[in-house]
Structures are given as C-alpha cells and as structure tokens.
Amino acid sequence: MAQSFLLSAQARTLSLRSIFAAGEDAAYATFCRLRWPDTSGEPVCPRCGSLSAYKIASRRRFECADCRKQYSVTSGTMFHSRKLAFTDILAAICIVANASKGLSALQLSRDLDVQAKTAFVLSHKLREALAAETADARLSGEIEIDGMHTGGSVRPANRKEDRIDRRKAPSKSPDRRVVIAVRQRGGRTLTFVGRHEPEGVAIAKLIVEKGSRIIADEASHWDRLPLTYDMLRINHSVAYSMDGVSTNQVESFFARLRRMIDGQHHHVSARHLHAYAAHCAWLEDHRRRDNGSNTYGALALALAQKPSATWKGYWQRYAK
C-alpha cells in the first residue's frame, strides 16, 4: 500500500516546474501564508504583535502602524537578511524534501546556480529547522532503540607489514561517533550522537515515558533498562525477527542514514553529524506524506525559527 502511494500521482503534489512557472509573487504569497497562518497571510509585527501595518510594495516590506518598526516576511526567521529570491528558496526546500536519501550541497548549488557555500549554509539552516520539530518530543508505546557507528575511518597503510588491526580500540579514530536512534512504532524517530552506545540508556530514560515497552538487541548495556521499562530483546545472531520481536524499524532508519552518508555526502564531520541524523529522521518519519506537504511543512518550520546562531555569518566567522 505504501509503495503504491509513493508511485502514485497523489505523492507528487508540487514540482519545480510549477514553482518557477507560478513566479515570484506566488512564492512570496506562500511565504506570507506560512509565516502568518493565524491571520491568513496578513502581516503581524514581530516586535509588538500589531495587526495594523502599511505595505511598502516596492520593497516587499511592512511598517507597523503602532511601533513604526519596518519588517518583512522573513524578518526574525531562519531566512533573516536573505539574498535569494523567494522562488529560489522555495525551490531549494522542494529539492531537499524530494531527496529521500539526502542531497549534497554541491548538487544543490548546481541546481540553483549559486555558490556551494550558499547551498551549504542553506541546507544546514533547513536541517536545524527540521530538528526543531521534535526538539521537546517524548515517546511512548512500543519503542525500538539501537546505535550505529559511523565516521572516523582509518586508512590502512600501504605496506602490509605496516598495517594495524583497525578493529581494536587503540587503532580507532577519535572522530568516530555513534548515532543512537529511539523510534516509536507508528510515531517519531529521535536521534542523538555520542561516543559510545551505552549512552543510549540515559537518553531512553529521559525521553521515553514510563509504562512504555522498549525493544532492543542483546547488547549488555541495555540490561539496565528493565528496571524502568518493560523490555523485549532480540538476539540477532539467532534471528532478526522472532514472534513479533524485532528492531527492524530502527534498522530501516539506519539503512537510510548509511546511504545518505555514503552515497551523497561521502564524509560527515562529527561536529555536524547530529544535523544529518535529524534530517534523515525527518525524511523517514514523513516518507508517506506527499512532497508538497513536506515542502510546505519544512518551510513553515524554518519561518517559525529565529535566526540561526550557528549559521548566521558562518563564512565570516561570526558564528559561535
């Protein structure tokens, strides 16, 4: 059923052709509608909340009739001080939402005909907005939990006699990290980045409601969770699924994340791994929603966020 929906016309409700054909005015109206949904796209002053404003049509700006502040539809949002056209930003979000296994900044820069730096920062601003959707989420019901190690590869030496056993801990790179995924069956996927998988025990106690059932593999560190939760375990050396017990859904997420890193980005630094993991989780959770809803949903999230502290002035070294 899910596969037939993804292949149907109902899954394709927005295209790049329609975005550019509609033009800048239509894209601008979309921004207004999603920035101010409670007033049907009518401007609301970000300083005092007044609904009275004068339109400065020549600059697509407004002046508040009460506090006299001038503002635009992107003022105080993730796109504050934007330079790209509204159609280009909307098209970029559509491209990112359509890429089911992620998209490299270089490819996005070619699609939009912008610098790779511009595409890189725009992509990360979107990832920050997507992560905000589940920032305060808690999970309940049946929960699957597991970890995936990634990054920090050690290149083998050229000569055989100089090679080391890369499986041993002293030989591993300090940049290696583990993505811990906590996935509710029929719900959301939350991701965290740490150095060791046992860190997932404290994470589970923090975000999983008491009375829930947690499903994990036979790794010994999960033995501490039955003190708080009902636990089911699956021994992967015997079977991947047995009597309805499996971690297949969280493993499905890891399969998508591996393909995103290996197939699109090739290398993800430990500093930004959490952003890519959150992006992948958002794509996984909304995989059965039509692409138009995903595009507008991502834009609404970005317009609801304040300017990024990390990516504002990134290339000028102003960011923290």
Tell me the pLDDT tens digit for each residue of 12-23.
899 999 999 999
Q: Please provide the size of the chain in residues.
A: 320
Mean pLDDT for the stretch of residues 52-60: 91
DSSP E strand stretches across the chain: 53-56, 61-64, 70-71, 142-150, 177-184, 189-194, 213-217, 230-234, 241-242, 245-246
Residue ranges per domain, the chain?
Answer: 15-21+81-132+293-320, 142-152+170-286
In the predicted model, is pLDDT for residue 229 greater than 80?
A: yes
Tell me the pLDDT tens digit for each residue of 264-293.
998 899 999 999 999 999 999 999 999 999
What DSSP assignment string belongs to 199-249?
HHHHHHHHHBPTT-EEEEES-GGGGGGGGTSEEEEE-TTT-SEETTEE-HH
Tell me the pLDDT tens digit for each residue of 110-169.
999 999 999 999 999 999 999 999 999 999 999 999 999 998 777 778 888 888 777 777
Rounded distance between C-alpha atoms, residue 260 and residue 280, angstroms: 8
Percent of the chain's residues with pLDDT above 70 = 95
Closest CA to 82 of 45, 126, 131, 130: 126
For the segment(s) 142-152+170-286, the CATH number from 3.30.420.10, 3.30.70.20, 3.30.365.10, 1.20.200.10 is: 3.30.420.10
- Looking at every residue in the chain, the average pLDDT score rounds to 92
Tell me the pLDDT tens digit for each residue of 76-99.
999 998 999 999 999 999 999 999
Rounded distance between C-alpha atoms, residue 286 and residue 282, angstroms: 6
